[in-house]
Copies of this chain bind each other. A is one copy, B any other.
Amino acid sequence: MKVRRSERLIDMTCYLLEKPHTLVSLTLFANRYDSAKSSISEDLTIIKKTFSDRGIGTLETVSGAAGGVMFIPKTNKEDAKAFIEEMCDRLSEQDRLLPGGYVYLSDLLGNPAILKTTGKIIATQYLDKEIDAVMTVATKGVPIAQAVASYLNVPFVIVRRDSKITEGSTVSINYVSGSSERVEKMELSKRSLKQGSRVLIVDDFMKGGGTVNGMRSLIDEFEAELVGITVFAETKFSGERMVEDYTSLLCVDDVDVRDKRIHVSPGNYFDKLNK
């Protein structure tokens, strides 16, 4: 039975949002709704315009026999700016200050709406790059990796500091923690990353950059390729940072433990985006 345009538009929207970065053929939609390809084509033109006008993302058309459409989630700059400014305010909340000048982030990184927006913003920066996997380190990087991977529609892999029997054989490396200068160990399940994979590193927080640098060594060890590094928040670091080329959404500029004041400003995201 033929399906009406209104129903097609709603269902196609759901279908495309569920499967970002996936080529969907016009034939699939034509069969799904028992409709002519010409009607499907008209539907997609309407969806494409709305997605673009409303800052949902872009709908790319691939022509030819193997053609179809692909939904690319994309945050526009205004939305990203508003979100990052809101996060600056949230991170500056006095009661987030922990002993040692650390900042409590677990509530934000356990909030699905914040994670979705964060994931979409990070994914937007890498749209012109090919990415095969997102890498992070357990535990707090995991929700960010999952959110980014979901928008890029690629798997994510979790590096661990402790060995687990449920990971099978692992490859491990030693790395120097940038802030404490201790030598630590991290490892990744051998079968979780293919040789030659293009990898995006994400994490919740960067201080000296030691952990991120460790992940970079792991990528080398797997003969994979580093595409980029993005952290949710960086903090001003007095020593020499072990990682130079990275993106941060937020920057904790200053923490005054005595007055219980945290000063947070936007990170270098927009500088990197314009490059």
A265 within 8 A of B: no
Apart from A14-B54, A139-B164, what are 20 other A-B pairs with CB-CB below 8 Å?
A5-B6, A6-B9, A7-B49, A10-B46, A10-B50, A11-B50, A11-B56, A17-B17, A99-B165, A103-B166, A104-B167, A106-B157, A106-B158, A110-B155, A110-B156, A110-B157, A139-B142, A140-B166, A142-B143, A143-B146
- Cross-interface CB contact of A102 among B9, B107, B165, cutoff 8 Å: B165
In the complex, the answer to whether A112 meets B153 with C-beta atoms within 8 Å is: yes
Set of chain B residues within 8 Å of A160, measured between Cβ atoms: 139
- Cross-interface CB contact of A191 among B54, B107, B191, cutoff 8 Å: B107
**A154: min CB distance to chain B, Å:** 8
Q: How many A residues are at the interface, by size bracket?
A: 35 or more
Set of chain B residues within 8 Å of A17, measured between Cβ atoms: 14, 17
In the complex, the answer to whether A100 meets B5 with C-beta atoms within 8 Å is: no
Set of chain B residues within 8 Å of A106, measured between Cβ atoms: 157-158, 166-167, 189, 192
A115 within 8 A of B: yes
**A121: min CB distance to chain B, Å:** 14
In the complex, the count of this chain's copies comes to 2
- Cross-interface CB contact of A47 among B10, B49, B111, B166, cutoff 8 Å: B10
The 0/1 profile, CB within 8 Å of B marked 1, for residues 34-68 of chain A is 00000000000011011101101000000000000
**A160: min CB distance to chain B, Å:** 7
CA distance A115 to B139 in the complex (A): 17
**A112: min CB distance to chain B, Å:** 4
- Closest B residue to A137 by CB, please name it: B139
Set of chain B residues within 8 Å of A140, measured between Cβ atoms: 166
CA distance A246 to B100 in the complex (A): 40
Which A91-130 residues have C-beta < 8 A from chain B?
Answer: 98-100, 102-107, 110-113, 115-116
A205 within 8 A of B: yes
A168 within 8 A of B: yes
The 0/1 profile, CB within 8 Å of B marked 1, for residues 129-169 of chain A is 00000000011101100110110011111101010111110
Set of chain B residues within 8 Å of A143, measured between Cβ atoms: 142, 146
CA distance A85 to B259 in the complex (A): 58
A18 within 8 A of B: yes
